[in-house]
Amino acid sequence: MILTTDTPRYNEQMNRNRQNDQSSKISRPKVGLALGGGGARGFAHIGALQVLLENEIPIDMVAGTSMGGIIGSSCVCGLDLDKLLLLLKKLDLHDLLGVPQSPLPEMVERTASEYLFQRKGWRTADQEKTLKLIQFFKLLTHDKSFDEVDIPFACVAADVDTGEEIVMDHGKISRALAASAALPGIHDPVRWEGHLLVDGGIIDRVPIRVAVSLGAEIVIAVNVSGELSDYVGTSLEVIRQSMSITGQALMRTQLELMYARLGEKLLIVTPDVSGIKTLALDEIDAPVKSGREAMEAALPEIQRILETSQTSV
């Protein structure tokens, strides 16, 4: 019932924005969203999107990485955000998404099994966990393809064999989301058009460039990346911290390049999600609240940029 609302607020707002644009003699630049990855911290995107819709900020295209892709796809597929929030609170997301609360034991078991028994069937066929993930995303997106949504949408993953960034903008959205959110060591890589793909956050945490490639002239980017740990005391924590350092360095370089290209037409919103762990999928209210607060604080600047970028036709 929740997944089949016929007149979600999102679609009503998008239609109203289009009608306003058509009837007005003012031409405005296209506005794109770039929603970053960050596991449970990505629930902040729900709060951020609620603020944009409530204030009639136009959204012309959406690019997402990992959880950013999941929340972004829900919008472009017509789900009402308030009902999506209620749904997520009722579900066991750890089970549905195949994410254990403590992933280390499962990662060790999987690695040992693959090493000792050469169980690598995921290279040639979807395994049970992948199929379950895809099925959940089919329900969330009404099993739509990219060409069936009114708002252009794309999500990002990384090719585990080549390290290439893969932008998925055609075919079934459900498979693309499974690939974009496939956590290394927890999920198997997901097959997509000859590629084996894992979580896009490895290579492009906040897909601003992808939003621009979809046609965005102004980009509102929501960054939900975690901060570095203040203290590391185990070998595993050293590995995690090292990966975080590398990821943050890559992200800084990407952001600098996009700032140089877009200037003030790139607005990065950073909710305070420092206290949210990546795999804490049962913590929804706190990141949503942080997303709302961060977008509300950014709203005057967004409105200013939109106003100053309009031109008469």
pLDDT in tens, 270-282: 999 988 988 899 9
- Residue 56 and residue 98: Cα distance in Å, rounded? 36
- pLDDT tens for 209-221 read 999 999 999 999 9
- pLDDT tens for 139-168 read 999 999 999 999 999 999 999 999 999 999
What integer pLDDT is reported at residue 238 of this predicted model? 75
What integer pLDDT is reported at residue 111 of this predicted model? 57
- pLDDT tens for 219-270 read 999 999 877 777 777 766 677 777 778 878 888 888 889 989 999 999 999 9
More confident residue, 126 or 218: 218
Residue 43 to residues 60, 122, 291, Cα–Cα distance (Å)? 21, 29, 8
More confident residue, 42 or 118: 42
What integer pLDDT is reported at residue 269 of this predicted model? 97
Q: For residue 226, give the nearest of 210, 241, 238 by alpha carbon.
A: 241
Mean pLDDT for the chain overall = 86
Q: Is the pLDDT of residue 295 over 60?
A: yes
Q: Residue 269 carries which side chain, given as an amino acid letter?
A: V
What integer pLDDT is reported at residue 8 of this predicted model? 45
What integer pLDDT is reported at residue 58 of this predicted model? 95
- Residue 21 and residue 28: Cα distance in Å, rounded? 8
Write phi, then psi, for 197 (nearest 5 degrees): -115, 145
- Residue 122 and residue 178: Cα distance in Å, rounded? 13
pLDDT band at 115 (very low <50, low <70, confident <90, very high): low
Residue with tokens 């609240």: 289
Write phi, then psi, for 110 (nearest 5 degrees): -65, -45
Residue with tokens 């794309």: 154
Angle at 17 between CA 87 and CA 290, to 5 degrees: 45
Label residue 103 exposed, middle or buried (CB < 10 Å: 0-12, 13-18, 19+).
middle
What integer pLDDT is reported at residue 157 of this predicted model? 98
Q: Which residues of 13-29 are buried (b: 16+ CB within 10 A; e: fewer)?
A: bbeebeeeeeeeeeebb
Which of the 8 DSSP states describes residue 281? T
More confident residue, 159 or 103: 159
Q: For residue 225, give the nearest of 256, 190, 269, 263 by alpha carbon.
A: 269
Joined tokens for residue 176: 């693309």
What integer pLDDT is reported at residue 201 of this predicted model? 93
Residue 147 to residues 38, 77, 84, 172, Cα–Cα distance (Å)? 27, 11, 22, 9
